Amino acid sequence: MKKIRTAVIGTGYLGKFHAEKYAELDNSELIAVVDINKDNAEAVAKKTNTTALNSYESLLTKVDAVSIVTPTETHAKIGLDFLSRGIDVLIEKPMALSTAEADTLIKAAEENNAILQIGHLERFNGAVLALKDTPLDPVFIESHRLSPFPNRSTDVDVVLDLMIHDIDIILNLARAEVEKIDAVGIPVISGKVDIANARLEFKNGCVANVTASRVSKEPQRKMRIFQNETYISVDFATQQISIAKLEGAKDGEKPRIINEELQIERQDSLLEEIKSFLNCSATREAPLVSGSDGKRALAVAAEIQEAVEESIQKRKQNIK
């Protein structure tokens, strides 16, 4: 098996895990890890038996594929530097600060025949993958993604930090364009919005109620999907799905609810994501989460942010 020469740009909280996955995969040769923080880079390099660098420019002629796990504001520049040279790129979510930046990344990938995959990790969650085998026509979707305040950097608000995971999944479930968005949110600890709720109305009539918080006492990552005669509960943390279905009356009996727990093999979502990325790099197949998918989620997140800001300004005016 020909090994793919890989590197990880950014060795912070999540970047170090990317490096560990690349280091353990047989079809990956981890050439280097990169971070402007020398100590971080060297610590991760030592653990993964590779080279530590403080800048990535020297890698532009030495690698086939990279993970970019740096602050969001740097994604576009670093991504373009690699994509423009035909190097495959996995960029952590959110893929960029704006849809305009996202467009430049998508264009660069297309023009240089490079793979561009966006790190929407939950798409590789065992429970999410299992949903593919479940008939879906949602009328109402409710999601809660709650966590204590993270022990890591927070360069973005909770919409881009946490809610965007559920936005991406919901857009795939609803299979329609968003028609209307209402949202509220407030800063609590970070100075950026730390808790937010959004209501998305789709053109096909589906409605989604999405809550994300990084100031909650107990973590929770759940989604509930309601459709005709079926209720589906998804727990991303435990990778479990329970389905309640209405069974019609038989032989004069009354209709009844049938409950089913799907048997799902738990997966290491990050490992599966990187394995999928490397497979795309080797086969040139389109990634499960494309640049267009990342841009679509980013665009809806931006609309939610605007709605949240409007609600904040409205409250301030009412206080006056």
Mean per-residue pLDDT for 285-295? 97
pLDDT of residue 316: 82
| 3-state SS assignment for residue 155 | coil
Tokens of 78: 């670093």
Residue 223 has pLDDT above 90, yes or no: yes
How does DSSP classify residue 28?
A: E
Whether the pLDDT of residue 180 is over 80: the answer is yes
Asked if residue 86 and residue 208 are part of one domain, the reply reads no
Question: What is the C-alpha to C-alpha distance for residues 60 and 79, in angstroms, rounded to an integer?
Answer: 11
Residue 98 pLDDT exceeds 70: yes
Is the model's pLDDT at 320 over the cut of 70?
A: no
Which of the four pLDDT bands, split at 50, 70 and 90, describes residue 305? very high
For 117-136, give the secondary structure using H, E and C. Answer: EEECHHHHCHHHHHHHHCCC
pLDDT tens, residue by residue, 24-56: 999 999 999 999 999 999 999 999 999 999 999
> In terms of pLDDT, which residue wins out, 209 or 2?
209
| 243 found inside a domain | yes
- Look at residue 80 and give its three-state secondary structure: helix
The pLDDT of residue 252: 65
Peptide bond between residue 135 and the one before it cis (omega within 30 degrees of 0): no
pLDDT at position 250 is: 65
Q: What is the pLDDT of residue 219?
A: 94
pLDDT confidence of residue 205: 96
Domains of the chain: total: 2
Q: Which residue range(s) make up the domain with 192?
A: 123-266+302-311
Residue 271 has pLDDT above 90, yes or no: yes
Q: Residue 11 has which token pair?
A: 């060795």
14 within some domain: yes
Q: Looking at the structure, tell me whether residues 142 and 245 fall in a common domain.
A: yes
Residues 307 and 161 in one domain: yes
pTM of the model: 0.93
In a domain, 295, yes or no: no
> Mean pLDDT, the chain, as a whole number?
94
Read off the pLDDT of each residue in 186-194 and give the average, rounded to a whole number: 91
Does residue 106 contact residue 117 with C-beta atoms inside 8 Å? no
Within 37-191, residue ranges assigned H as helices are 38-48, 75-83, 99-111, 126-130, 158, 164-174
CATH number of the domain bearing residue 98: 3.40.50.720
Task: Please state, in angstroms and rounded to a whole number, the distance separating the CA atoms of residues 86 and 173.
Answer: 32
- Rounded to an integer, what distance in angstroms lies between the CA atom of residue 117 and that of residue 33? 19
- Identify whether residues 163 and 307 lie together within a single domain: yes
Residues 105 and 140 in one domain: no
Would the pLDDT of 283 be above 70? yes
Q: Would you say residue 249 lies in a domain?
A: yes
- Whether the pLDDT of residue 154 is over 80: the answer is no
Residues with Cβ within 8 Å of 252's Cβ and at least 6 positions away in sequence, in order, are none
